[in-house]
Structure 1
Amino acid sequence: MKTEKRQGIVLGEVEVTRVIEWRGPFVPARDLVPGVAAEVWKDNEDWLSPDHWEPDADLAVVALQTWVLRSAGKTILVDTGVGNGRERPGSPQFHHRQGDFLGVLARAGIRPEDVDIVVNTHLHGDHVGWNTVASDEGWRPAFPRAQYLVPAADEHHFGPGNAYGNGLREDDRLIYEDSIAPVLRAGQMVLWDGAHRIDEHLTLESAPGHTPGSCVLRLASGSDRAVFVGDLLHSPVQILAPSCNSCFCLDPEQAVRSRRRILERAADEKELVVPAHFGGAGAMEVQRKGQGFALGRWAAHGDTPTATPPEATPPEGA
Structure 2
Amino acid sequence: MTEVKIGAARVSRIEESYEPNFEAAKFFADWQPDVVDRHRDWMVPDHYDPASGFLKLSVHSWLISIGGRTILIDACVGNHKPRPARPKWHLMQTRYLERLAEAGVRPEAIDMVMCTHLHMDHVGWNTRLDNGRWVPTFPNARYLFSQADYDHYLALDRDPQTGPVNQGSFRDSVLPVAEAGLADMVSGAHTVDEHLSIDPAPGHTPGTVAIKLASRGEGAVFCGDILHHAVQVFHPEWNSFACADAVSARKSRRRVLEDCAGSGALLMPAHFGAPFVCNIDERGSRFTPRFA
How far apart, CA to CA, are the structure 2 residues paired with 1:164 and 1:173?
A: 14
Give the alignment partner of residue 117 of structure 2, picking from 107, 116, 122.
Answer: 122
Letter in 1 for 2:91: H
Where in structure 2 are there 5+ consecutive unaligned residues? none
Count of residues paired in the alignment: 292
Q: 1:1-318, aligned counterparts within 5 Å?
A: 6-136=1-131, 138-159=133-154, 161-163=155-157, 170-172=164-166, 174-296=168-290, 298=291, 306=292
Spell out, residue by residue over 1:59-80, the C-alpha distance to the aligned partner (whole angstroms, 9 max, x if none): 1000010100012211000001
Compared CA separation, residues 170 and 263, structure 1 to 2 (3 A): same
Compared CA separation, residues 93 and 167, structure 1 to 2 (3 A): farther
Is the partner of 2:194 in helix, strand or coil? coil
Spell out, residue by residue over 1:159-178, the C-alpha distance to the aligned partner (whole angstroms, 9 max, x if none): 2x233699557552611110
Compared CA separation, residues 167 and 154, structure 1 to 2 (3 A): farther
Spell out, residue by residue over 1:200-251, the C-alpha distance to the aligned partner (whole angstroms, 9 max, x if none): 1111111010000101111111121110100011111111110111111011
Q: TM-score, normalised by structure 2?
A: 0.96
Where in structure 1 are there 5+ consecutive unaligned residues? 1-5, 299-305, 307-318
Q: TM-score, normalised by structure 1?
A: 0.88
Spell out, residue by residue over 1:275-317, the C-alpha distance to the aligned partner (whole angstroms, 9 max, x if none): 1001101010111122221122x1xxxxxxx3xxxxxxxxxxx
Spell out, residue by residue over 1:101-138, the C-alpha distance to the aligned partner (whole angstroms, 9 max, x if none): 11111121111110000001101111010000111261
RMSD: 1.6
Instruction: Decide whether the 8 Å contact of 1:90 with 1:171 is kept in 2.
Output: no
Is the partner of 1:175 in helix, strand or coil? helix
How far apart, CA to CA, are the structure 2 residues paired with 1:164 and 1:204?
A: 28
Alignment identity in percent?
38
Compared CA separation, residues 164 and 16, structure 1 to 2 (3 A): farther
How far apart, CA to CA, are the structure 2 residues paired with 1:164 and 1:132?
A: 20
How far apart, CA to CA, are the structure 1 residues paired with 2:139 and 2:161?
A: 31
Question: Which stretch of structure 1 is more off in the superposition, 36-45 or 223-232?
Answer: 36-45
Instruction: Decide whether the 8 Å contact of 2:82 with 2:90 is kept in 1.
Output: yes
- Detail structure 1 runs of 4+ shifted over 6 Å in the superposition: none
